[in-house]
Amino acid sequence: MEVSVIGNPQARICRSELVYRELGFRFGSEVISGESRNRVSFRSQISKLKEIGIRCSSRSVKCEAIISDQVPFLNSTPKSRSLESVKLFVGLPLDTVSDCYNVNHMKAITAGLKALKLLGVEGIELPIFWGVVEKEAAGKYEWSGYLAVAEIVKKVGLKLHASLSFHGSKDPEIGLPDWVSKIGEAEPGLYFTDRYGNQYHDCLSFAVDDAPVLDGRTPMEVYRGFCESFKSAFSDYMGNTITGITLGMGPDGELRYPSHQHDDKFSGAGEFQCYDKYMLSALKQYAESTGNPLWGLGGPHDAPTYNQQPHSSSFFSDGGSWESQYGDFFLSWYSSLLISHADRVLSVASSAFNGSGVSVCGKLPLLHQWHKLRSQPSELTAGFYSSNGQDRYEAIAEIFAKNSCRMIIPGMDLSDEHQPPESLSSPESLLAHIKTSCKKQGVVVSGQNSSVPVPGGFERIVENLEDENAGIDLFTYQRMGARFFSPEHFHAFAVFVRNMNQFELSSQDQAGENVAESLSIGSGTGAASLQAA
């Protein structure tokens, strides 16, 4: 099967040749000079790359991939709105910069960025971790690795969206700053805790937002200092190369409680995270203020555990505790802390970057598991609830609007038909609900895909971007690594970019087709090897 992909019509052959050198392309059977020296690898060897032919004319780059019939391709369809205005970004690996401040896989990333530029990608998303930059001591920032990446992005001619991550990661393993972890050892109340005393160490409890628990400073003061230091260190890039900032708002950067923590994290209802001493203190005060002191002793006693089915206990059942007066009391309090946290974080971001020429964003999760149940337990345990028939997501959108922030919504590649029937999941209806809530509040939505590849994902992304009601103008594809640069996936991604850009060959390009040259990225000597990041 051959599928042609039209690249950016402004790209010139001289620019493309540089990319071919960096990626280790072969010109027919002749190896381009410097190829061996420029061979790149993310980590370990993988199976042989299949041959991909690249045809180039003098005015544009036309790629012809010769790969398996099993590769999913997009079909051109009539569009309800033009996708040419949608800016496409691609996320860099989470461990792009290590905790030793080095840029990992520098050559591979540079080569990959040049290839993406030629495809017509607008920019790159760079995850920046608190635990890397401010690792050793409070107020001691080390930006060198991330500055090096910003310079590479600038030289390639791409834009940069920086995600300031105040959480840790298990894969790759990136923790909170060492000095914060030491404080946490002496004061374990900093971390979210479940009813069994298990702590979540990858972000701080929302209940300590305004508590001076970090060497006399509050987390919000520390986050503000981090933002100010970032703005100063990257002043030469702000508003030109750097066009957007995302503030981490919770686990994995999303606004939610860490209610699902296991590998099979969405098989059950999740668990309430309200048992650290600061959360319990806040619950006790709220209960006493409402005249129900006995309700402030802990979370619901009849809720299921992480991986239990929602109806394995009575709390989430129809007519269960979640619908009772007590349920409304607890869930209203639980969600109010989430909303307050969102307001604090977005306020810090909007004030820190006001006038910098960048957009400020926060990310919501797409908690679609069990969405077809009336109780919607995955959303309730994560903190999304509103009483008296009010819209829970509109309340969140109102906070985003108040702080003039964009909302990032993941899962735009998901469809209902590919969800396990037993999960009672509906990503499509939940996504439509959140987008409608944002539209009511005038909040601009940016999109992302889910972290795990799904059948028909590219087609579903296009459908969401074509939605005139949502008006999405920026989409970030996650993320670079071995799978991304595999022949099958990268070709499908290139077709996806073409569907968005809809470039057409000029008459000169079409005339030049007859004399086009052929390049290949293959498994021969010096072929590029792009491995897992």
Q: What is the domain partition of the chain in residue ranges?
A: 83-264+330-506
Q: Under a CB-based contact definition with an 8 Å cutoff, are residues 9 and 495 in contact?
A: no
Please tell me the least confidently modeled range out of 19-33, 335-349, 425-439.
19-33
Mean pLDDT, range 516-530, rounded to an integer: 29
pLDDT given for residue 502 in this prediction: 60
Please tell me the least confidently modeled range out of 77-81, 278-282, 299-303, 314-318.
77-81
Mean pLDDT, range 448-477, rounded to an integer: 91
pLDDT given for residue 355 in this prediction: 94
Q: What is the DSSP letter of 363?
A: E
CATH number listed for the domain at residues 83-264+330-506: 3.20.20.80
pLDDT given for residue 356 in this prediction: 95
Give the containing element (helix H, strand E) for 230: helix 219-233
98-120 burial: b if 16+ Cβ within 10 Å, else e = ebebebbbebbbbbbbbbbbbbb
Q: φ, ψ for residue 371 (rounded to 5)? A: -65, -25
Q: Under a CB-based contact definition with an 8 Å cutoff, are residues 223 and 337 in contact?
A: no
pTM: 0.83
Distance CA 244, CA 475 (A): 12
pLDDT given for residue 238 in this prediction: 98
Specify the pairing of strand 30-31 against strand 26-27: antiparallel
- Per DSSP, the three-state class of 490 is helix
Q: What are the structure tokens assigned to 120, written together?
A: 């017509």
Of 328, 329, 336, the residue nearest 287 (C-alpha): 329
% of the chain at pLDDT higher than 90: 69
7 has a pLDDT exceeding 60? no
Mean pLDDT, range 197-217, rounded to an integer: 97
Distance CA 524, CA 81 (A): 43
Q: Under a CB-based contact definition with an 8 Å cutoff, are residues 458 and 72 in contact?
A: yes
3-state secondary structure 125-157: EEEEEHHHHCCCCCCCCCCHHHHHHHHHHHHHC
Most confident of 59-68, 143-152, 481-490: 143-152
How buried is 321 (Cβ within 10 angstroms: 0-12 exposed, 13-18 middle, 19+ buried)? buried
pLDDT given for residue 44 in this prediction: 33
Distance CA 56, CA 200 (A): 52
